[in-house]
Amino acid sequence: MSKCDTYYLTTPIYYVNDVPHIGHAYTTIIADTIARYARLKGIDTFFLTGTDEHGQKIEEAAKKRGKTPKEYADEISAKFKALWDEFEICYDKFIRTTDPEHIKGVQKAFLTMYENGDIYKDYYEGHYCVGCESFVAPSQLVNDELCPDCGRPTRIIKEESYFFRLSKYQDKILEWLKTKKPILPEAKANEIIRFVEDGLKDLSITRTSFEWGIKLPKEINDPKHVVYVWLDALFNYLTALGYGSEDETLLKKYWPAKLHIVGKDILKFHAVYWPAFLMSIGFELPKVIAAHGWWTRDGEKMSKSKGNVINPKEVADAYGIENFRYFMLREVPFGADGDFSEKALIDRINNDLGNDLGNLLNRIIGMAYKYFDGKITSKNVEKYYPNELNEARDIVKDLEKTYLWKMQIHKFLEELWKVLSIGNKAIDTYKPWELMKNSEEEKAAALLGLIANLLALVAVNLHAVMPKTTGKIAKALGFEINKDTFAAIMDGKLLNDFVIEKIPPLFPKIEKPLMKKVEVKENKPVNLITIDEFFKTELKIGKILVAEEIKKSKKLLRLEVDLGEEKPRQIIAGIKEYYKPEELIDTYVCVVSNLKPAKLMGMMSEGMLLGAKDENGFSLIRPEKPKKTGTPIK
């Protein structure tokens, strides 16, 4: 990447249904690091973040709190902005989808797609997930009603809608995905390619069942419709640069985006819907869409009911924002799920930062004043220690190209730490105290010069991750980190001779956890029933006599089950993904036998099998030993 390039990168705009959590902080810290590094290289960079504020979920959340949607959105959006400002996130623009300029841009895009023949009116009938603000195809439903992404029940809606011809762009999107390879990490790209290859259906892009959204352009003259939240949200990447306004200077300068950073749960919207929208309005597609994983806490999924949701401000207040930044970026490979453990955070601070980095700086400060009145010289570094110097230079030479721009920031930091190892090993190997004892002062002075230059090499590369910390290191070493010193040090220039400045230890050892202990809340029992109510349910042992696939269904099997009655019961069961029909014949199962019959796929189902599902899959609940069919379960 040359210095004359521009670099436009974005976070998702965060949905204002709740306050910022550790996942939001992780995304934003990654983007902030990339932006800072690009600027340090002298690249003209524009960094966008913001909030997504329309949709049914916001309308309902506001109503519960007795607020208007705008009042509620104002409140939560302000919390995001305040946190990023407190974390000193170096964004260039904080966009809100309630901004008038954004609304105008979305309406322009909608009208352009409409005039290009890519939008038409029809009726939508099917499953809709309010939590994800997305429609779910029947084939994707879990247990015929649950959203595959969040697991919550979907709603069946039927309403007039405008549709976008997503199917029209299937082949072009596939070609882009396969030839340009824009998705990181690669495993996520393969998932998206398979999704597109399965076939894209036209996308419903308006709603009439709620009002909190962007109205259609006045030229279309259909005021009861509002724009589907994902079409609204995705266009923030263009409207932030002036799309739809009279001044599109920034748009011409920075588009296409070099990097969209997203969570893995919204990759489909960015890697399928967004490129199709851009193709429709004639815009170049983004260069990279990078999807990161989710965070758990101490191995458990975070939830409000457990009381273990991580507030990033609490972590930063306890351990320092820069220590927190380092941990988040170093702990987990990009794309993988991560686990936040306070013990792991403390270990990173004490070992990586304290022992490796901080201790090396402390050692050089101590020796510089003990032997040379604080004076450091680079005069004879290459004469006495060329191997160590060249090894360190080789490590950092292709570091950004190999790892940083490919979003392998954990590996970038891991490799950078090898430079610190070279420094610590050099002290232990050459023993400056013995060099001084043997009157080899010139060699000892050169050793301290080597260590100073290794620390400078680490500091300029670590600056994007820990700007204030590395600023203190640079001050102690007599230089300032900016694009000129970055370029000089990366080109192999050694520090000028200087008097080292004493500074307090950067990473005092942490002896015990500093955050409040998480008290897991016990879930109060809900939906309690009496013993009499329980016995209204009739559970019986049944034997499966017939098991057949239902050809039009991906999930259902047709079973005939003997319950000791005059004839077998027909039961339609959603277990096709877990059992082959031949595996079920002549096996025993537990059946709810007094369930009201219901039609599924046009066939009557006269009962329900009992089963259990967790992260390891689904299993039928069966008797330990064969029992007489029709035996009651008590």
- Binding site for Zn(2+), by residue number, is 129, 132, 147, 150
For residue 562, with 0-12 CB atoms within 10 Å meaning exposed, 13-18 middle and 19 or more buried, which class applies? middle
* Assigned token pair, 368: 């510089």
β-bridge mates for residue 120, sequence order: 163
Backbone dihedral region of 66: left (phi > 0), alpha (psi from -120 to 50 degrees) or beta? left
Q: How far apart are CA 445 and CA 442, in angstroms?
A: 5
Q: What are phi and psi of 105, to 5 degrees?
A: -65, -40
Sign of CA dihedral 268, 270, 274, 275: negative
Q: What's the Cα-to-Cα distance from 370 to each of 376, 444, 445, rounded to whole Å?
A: 12, 12, 12
Q: How far apart are CA 596 and CA 30, in angstroms?
A: 53
Q: How far apart are CA 229 and CA 56, in angstroms?
A: 9
| Of residues 46, 295, 287, the one with CA closest to residue 184 | 287
Residue that is written with structure tokens 């003209």 in the block = 44
Q: How far apart are CA 214 and CA 368, in angstroms?
A: 64
Tell me the one-letter amino acid at 440. Answer: E
Report the binding-site residues.
Answer: 129, 132, 147, 150
Residues 497, 375: contact at Cβ < 8 Å? yes
Q: How far apart are CA 435 and CA 422, in angstroms?
A: 18
* Assigned token pair, 59: 């309308």
C-alpha angle 195/200/204, rounded to 5°?
Answer: 120
DSSP state of 266: G
How many Cβ atoms from other residues are within 10 Å of residue 124's Cβ?
20
What is the CA 56 to chain-centroid distance, rounded? 23
β-bridge mates for residue 580, sequence order: none
DSSP state of 40: H
β-bridge mates for residue 542, sequence order: 589
Residue by residue, DSSP assigns 347-409 as HIIIIIIIIIIIHHHHHHHHHHHHHHTTEE--TTHHHH-HHHHHHHHHHHHTHIIIIITTT-H
Q: How far apart are CA 70 and CA 75, in angstroms?
A: 9
Q: How far apart are CA 58 and CA 15, in angstroms?
A: 9
